[in-house]
Structure 1
C-alpha cells in the first residue's frame, strides 16, 4: 500500500467513526432556563454569555442541560480549574460539545491530538509540537506578520467604515497558519468555511455535519499528498516525517493535528483580535490611552484576553459519579468555560470590568492544566502585532453601528461582523 493509500484509507475510516450519538436528540430554540436547559449554540449565548454566566454563578454554579445528550456548565473558577486538572475523571477525547460523541476506542489519542488526547499519550504528542511554538520560533514570524498587517490596512485605507472582523482580523491568523502548515494562502475562504462548520454548526443534523467533516479531511488529504510528493520546510512535512515511539505518526494523527492547527489556530486569534478592537472602539478612554502609551499594550492584551477569552473547551465524564453536588453520568458533556472562570469575582478583583493596566492577571484564556494552549506565544504575537499596526494606522475609530456587530456562536466567541468608523 502506498503512503497516499494509507492516509486515504485511515482518514476515511476516521470520518465514518464520527457517529452521531443516538441519545443526542437535536434540540434547538430559545432556552427555557439556563440552569436546566443551557445551550451554547443559541443566539442569546453568542450575543452576551457573560450575563448568563454571572447569573448562573450566583444561582446555580453548575448548570445542566438535556441538549446534546446531556451536559454540565460550571461557572466558578475553582470548578473549571478542578475539572481542567482532573484527567482521571474527565476525558478530552472530544473537545467540541455537540451531537457527536467519538467512540471510546479513540481514547487516549482522540480525533485532533494532542488537544483531544488523554494521558499518558497526551504528553508525548504535545511534546512533538512544542519546538514550533517557542518564543524564539514565534519571533521569527513577527516581521512577516507586521508586513502583512500593513498590507491589509493599505487595502483598506480611505474607507470611512471598515469591517475589522471580516477585512482585517480573520486574515492575520489565516496567513500565519497557512504559512506554518505550507498551505496555499489563497485558500483562506475555505479555511473560514471549515472553521464555521466545525465550531458553529455543532447542532446541525447528521446529514449536514458528516459531509462537512468529510470536506475538511478531503482538503487535508490533498495537502498531505502534495507534501509527500513535494516535501518542504513546514509543519505538515514535519508531521508526516516525525516519529513517535519509533514509528511515524498514524495518518489520522497527522490529519487530526493539522485540522487542530488550522481551525483552532485561526478562529481563536481571529476572535481575540476582533474582540479587542470591538472593546477599544466602544471605549475611547482605553483606546486613547493605548495610543498615547504604546508600552502599556502587552499588559492591556492580557486584560483583553481575560475579559474576552474566546475559548470554551469541552470534556466527557468518564464514569458515573457524584461531583461537587451534582450527579454526573458517564459520557455527559462538561462545557469548560474559561470565559466564565475569568470573570469570577472570587478570583479577580473588579472581575466584570476591563482594567487595561491590571498588574496581577493569572487568567485562564489559554486554558488550564495539561491542555493549556501550546500556541499561546504565537497567539500573543499575532494579537500584539495586529493591535500595534491598527492603532498606528487608525488611532481614531469607533463603532459605526453597535447593533450591526455580530458574534460567533459555539465554543469560540468573537465578532464576525465589526463595522468600525475610521476617524
Structure 2
C-alpha cells in the first residue's frame, strides 16, 4: 500500500475561507482592552502584566484576532477549562483563522482539538504510550542522551542551555516514540516555530508552512507502511476507533500534535528551570547539596514558569462572569497566570523550591489535561539531574542576551550560561 492510497496528500492551494489576513501585533495601549500575547514585553516577562490585569479586570479583552478574552484568575481559568458545554476546543492556537463548527467534535489535532463525546475515545487511544511504566522504559536512553549532549560541551566556558541542551532532549524522545529520523531534529524546531510563533504571518505564508509539516508527516507514514515497526506511528496507522481504522486526518493530526506539543512544552520547561538556577545561586547550590529536593523543586518550576497557554472558542453568545462573550470569541486559558494567583497559592510570585503543597495547573485542567505529563516530568527530572551532576556551578553569561519565545508556549530560546565549576 502507498500512503496516497489511504493517506492522500491534501493539495489545497491556499488558506481556508474565513482566514483573516490582518496583522495582529503592535504596541499595546492598555492590556485590559487590547492585550496581545505576541508582544516582546509579554514574551520577556508576562507576570507583572498578568498581576496588573488580575487586580484591574480580571478578564482582559482584545479586538485582535477577531476578538478574544484573557482570564487571569485561577478560578476563572479552571471554570472555563472544565466547561465543555459552553467552550469548544476545536482550535487551541489563537490566530486569525477559526475552523468551522463542522470540524467539531474531532478538530484538526485530536484529542487536544476534540470536544466530547469524541474526545474521550480519542484520548484513550494514546494513553498506553504515556503510562508511568511506558515512560520509565525510556528513562535510561533519555539519561544517556543528556550525558552525550553535555559531553559535547568539553572545553567550552559558555554554552547555550536552551539551544545546545533543552531543545534536543524532547526532540530526541518524541522522534524515538514516533519512529522518526533523529537527524531531522532541526526540521522539528522549524515546525514548532511555524505552528506556535508564526500566527502573525500573512495567511498564505502561514498556510504554506503548515503544509510543509503535513507533507513531512505523509512521508513518514509512507515509510512506516513500507517498513512497519513497534512505534507510535505504526500504532496510529493500525489503530481503530468505533470499529474502523482512524481517519487519515486523525492520524496525521495526532502525529502533528505529538511532534509540536511534545517538543516545545518540555523544551521550554527545561530551559526555564535552568534559567532560574543560573540566575538564583542559592537555589542551585541547595539542589546540588540536596538532590532529593529535586522533585519538589521541579514541580515549583512547572508552577512558576508554566510554559503553556491554551485557547478555546466560545460556543454561543453569553454573559459570563461579568463580560459579554460572543460566539466564536477566543478565550486564552493562561495556566501561567492561574499558577501565580495569590488566592490559590501562598507566596504565589515567589519560587519556593521546597513548596510542599503544589496543585499547579502547568499541565492544564479538565478533560484536556496533558496526556504526556508523565513523559514531560521524566524528561525534566532527568535533564536537571544530569545537568546538576555534570555542571553543578553555572551562571547567566549575559542576562540581557536571554530571549524567550512569543505566543502560547513560553520558554527560553537563547540561554547563554557560563560554566564556573
> What band does the TM-score fall into relative to the shorter chain?
over 0.9
Higher helix share goes to which structure? 1
> Does the 8 Å contact 2:178/2:231 carry over to 1?
yes
Output the CA distance in 2 between the equivalents of 1:86 and 1:270: 29
How big is the shift at 1:42? 1.2
Report the 3-state secondary structure (helix = DSSP H, G, I; strand = E; otherwise coil) of the residue aligned with 1:373. Answer: coil
Output the CA distance in 2 between the equivalents of 1:308 and 1:231: 39
Q: Specify the alignment match of 1:409 in structure 2.
A: 406
Q: Specify the alignment match of 1:339 in structure 2.
A: 336
Q: 1:237 to 1:17 in 2, by over 3 A?
A: farther
Q: How does 1:36-115 map to 2 (within 5 A)?
A: 36-115=33-112
Q: How does 1:281-292 map to 2 (within 5 A)?
A: 281-292=278-289
Residue 218 (str. 1) matches residue 218 (str. 2): no
- Paired residues in the alignment total 420
Report the 3-state secondary structure (helix = DSSP H, G, I; strand = E; otherwise coil) of the residue aligned with 2:32. Answer: helix
Question: Mean alpha-carbon deviation: is it higher for 35-44 or for 131-140?
Answer: 35-44
Unaligned segments of structure 1, at least 5 residues: none
How big is the shift at 1:25? 3.1
Report the 3-state secondary structure (helix = DSSP H, G, I; strand = E; otherwise coil) of the residue aligned with 1:162. Answer: strand
> Does the 8 Å contact 1:97/1:333 carry over to 2?
yes
Residue 116 (str. 1) matches residue 113 (str. 2): yes
Stretches (4+) displaced over 6 A: none
How well do the aligned residues superpose, as a CA RMSD in angstroms? Answer: 1.2
Q: 1:167 to 1:57 in 2, by over 3 A?
A: same
Q: TM-score, normalised by structure 1?
A: 0.97
Output the CA distance in 1 between the equivalents of 2:154 and 2:393: 13
Q: How does 1:227-306 map to 2 (within 5 A)?
A: 227-306=224-303
Which residue, 371, 375, 386 being the options, matches 1:374?
371
Output the CA distance in 1 between the equivalents of 2:306 and 2:11: 34
Unaligned segments of structure 2, at least 5 residues: none
> Does the 8 Å contact 1:17/1:102 carry over to 2?
no
Report the 3-state secondary structure (helix = DSSP H, G, I; strand = E; otherwise coil) of the residue aligned with 1:159. Answer: coil
Output the CA distance in 2 between the equivalents of 1:116 and 1:262: 15
Alpha-carbon deviations, 1:108-149, whole Å to 9, x = none? Answer: 000000000000000000000000000000000000000000
> Does the 8 Å contact 1:18/1:103 carry over to 2?
no
Residue 21 (str. 1) matches residue 19 (str. 2): yes
Which residue, 133, 140, 156 being the options, matches 1:136?
133
How big is the shift at 1:5? 3.3
Output the CA distance in 2 between the equivalents of 1:37 and 1:223: 42
Output the CA distance in 2 between the equivalents of 1:318 and 1:272: 32
Output the CA distance in 2 between the equivalents of 1:420 and 1:2: 48
> Does the 8 Å contact 2:224/2:233 carry over to 1?
yes
How big is the shift at 1:17? 6.8
Q: 1:128 to 1:18 in 2, by over 3 A?
A: farther
Output the CA distance in 2 between the equivalents of 1:86 and 1:242: 29
Output the CA distance in 2 between the equivalents of 1:215 and 1:5: 20
Which residue, 395, 406, 421 being the options, matches 1:398?
395
Output the CA distance in 2 between the equivalents of 1:148 and 1:205: 38
